[in-house]
């Protein structure tokens, strides 16, 4: 618990200093420390939601026309979210309260997911938690803060498969990308894993079917970014279509799989540590969202889940160290925007983003439990048989 107390003291001290700085120097002075570009009025991303509720009250469909938003951005959320904000009669006067609640739940989610950590782990966690990438999400009061809490809660109740699945489903209904955390379901034995996965898939596919007409608009209306404030397959290739941008990322994934299959005995097996499930969830979200093409870098907050397991290192100490360095660089590179030549900073940031994709996938595959490893080997053997048949 010593490391957990250390982390709490670091975070609480920085938060207190920010409050004092804001009191004496003003709101903008807080974010100038992290060189975070601010929006006025405050909590800009959340206002897309609360402003959307105002548009609904005025009879508009905010998915297509959202005059309640200060920047006229469409409300890029499923109908379920619209029903909820309409039912709760939200408006922009609630923005500060809801944003503060999101922040509190985010920090609660961090400590909810932590058990025993040492001071070194606490120090690395604090570097990432207090990074410009995460601070951007806090400044905007982005909904990912609430999603982080829900995923942390799902992992906290992982001993109860159905309850954990329901919480993850709720998170996926709000924002689709939490489905990429599904890899933590392999914690369960084969039978339970299959039942939970099939149940989740059935419900989620039905949800997607019911919202199929709105999904293209939700995706297209989601604001995208390129360069050092983004990560993903299209962050450095904006001219490519989404599917064509998958080619290099897919090549990396396939290469990692091939290398893993040929060197299976060299990888550490499921360590059974207290943090392996959190690692799988965080790694899965990064890998999955990478294929979405463009993500604002505040979504790197989900890498917080991976850090305690990476600090253990075990048999893959070098890869774990490379992954940790990549996380820190990716989270802090926006701070150097304007201080380092844009082209050089962009190359450094993208190099570590893609290195992070490779190393996380490498570790994720190698931490799969024995029954998953055996299934992968059978699939690989079957593929080799087909390949040999084609050659003959």
How do the pLDDT tens digits run along the chain, 392 residues long? 688 999 999 999 999 999 999 999 988 999 999 999 888 899 999 999 999 999 999 999 999 999 999 999 999 888 899 999 989 999 999 999 999 999 999 999 999 988 888 999 999 999 999 999 999 999 999 999 999 999 999 999 999 999 999 999 999 999 999 999 999 999 888 899 999 999 999 999 999 999 999 988 888 888 877 888 999 998 877 777 888 888 888 888 888 777 766 655 444 444 557 789 999 999 999 999 999 988 999 999 999 999 999 998 765 788 899 999 999 999 999 999 888 888 899 999 999 999 999 999 988 888 888 777 666 666 656 555 554 554 45
Question: Domain range spanning residue 370?
Answer: 2-391
The total of structural domains in the chain comes to: 1
pLDDT of residue 265: 47
Exposed (0-12), middle (13-18) or buried (19+): which is 33, by Cβ within 10 Å? middle
pLDDT of residue 268: 41
pLDDT of residue 54: 94
Listed as own residue / partner, the contacts of 355-358 with beta carbons closer than 8 Å and 24 or more positions apart are 355/322, 355/326, 356/286, 356/323, 356/326, 356/327, 356/330, 357/249, 357/252, 357/286, 357/287, 357/290, 358/252, 358/256
Query: Count of CB atoms within 10 A of residue 209's CB?
Result: 8
pLDDT of residue 185: 92
Does the pTM surpass 0.75? The reply is yes
DSSP H or E stretch at residue 95: helix 95-112
pLDDT of residue 387: 44
pLDDT of residue 169: 96
Beta bridge partners of 295: 231
Is 115 strand, coil or helix?
A: coil
- CA atoms of 223 and 227, how far apart (whole Å): 14
Q: End-to-end distance of the chain based on CA atoms, in angstroms?
A: 61
pLDDT of residue 376: 64
């Amino acid at each position: 618990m010593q490391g957990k107390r250390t982390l709490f003291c670091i975070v609480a001290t920085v938060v207190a200093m920010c409050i004092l700085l804001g009191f004496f120097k003003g709101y903008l002075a807080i974010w100038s420390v992290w060189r975070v570009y601010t929006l006025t009025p405050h909590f800009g991303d959340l206002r897309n939601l609360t402003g959307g509720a105002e548009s609904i009250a005025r009879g508009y469909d905010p998915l297509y026309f959202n005059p309640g938003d200060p920047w006229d951005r469409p409300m890029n959320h499923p109908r379920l979210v619209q029903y909820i904000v309409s039912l709760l009669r939200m408006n922009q006067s609630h923005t500060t309260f809801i944003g503060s609640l999101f922040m509190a739940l985010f920090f609660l989610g961090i400590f909810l997911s932590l058990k025993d950590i040492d001071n070194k782990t606490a120090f690395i966690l604090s570097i990432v938690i207090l990074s410009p990438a995460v601070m951007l999400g806090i400044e905007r009061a982005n909904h990912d803060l609430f999603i982080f809490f829900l995923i942390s809660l799902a992992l906290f109740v992982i001993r109860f498969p159905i309850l954990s699945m329901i919480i993850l489903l709720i998170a996926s209904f709000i924002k689709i990308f939490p489905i990429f955390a599904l890899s933590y379901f392999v914690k369960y034995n084969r039978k339970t894993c299959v039942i939970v996965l099939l149940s989740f898939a059935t419900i989620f596919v039905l949800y997607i079917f019911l919202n199929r007409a709105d999904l293209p608009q939700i995706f297209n209306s989601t604001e995208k970014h390129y360069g050092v404030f983004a990560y993903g397959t299209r962050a450095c290739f904006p001219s490519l279509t989404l599917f064509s941008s998958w080619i290099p990322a897919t090549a990396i994934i396939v290469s990692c799989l091939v290398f893993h299959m040929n060197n299976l005995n060299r990888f550490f097996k499921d360590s059974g540590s207290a943090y392996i499930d959190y690692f799988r969830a965080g790694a899965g979200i990064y890998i999955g969202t990478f294929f979405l093409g463009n993500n604002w870098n505040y979504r790197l907050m989900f890498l917080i889940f991976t850090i305690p397991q990476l600090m253990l290192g075990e048999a893959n100490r070098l890869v774990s160290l490379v992954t940790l360095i990549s996380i820190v660089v990716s989270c802090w590179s926006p701070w150097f925007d304007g201080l380092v030549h844009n082209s050089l900073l962009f190359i450094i940031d993208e190099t570590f983003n893609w290195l992070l994709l490779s190393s996380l996938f490498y570790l994720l595959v190698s931490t799969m439990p024995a029954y998953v490893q055996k299934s992968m080997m059978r699939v690989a053997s079957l593929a080799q048989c087909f390949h040999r048949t084609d050659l003959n």
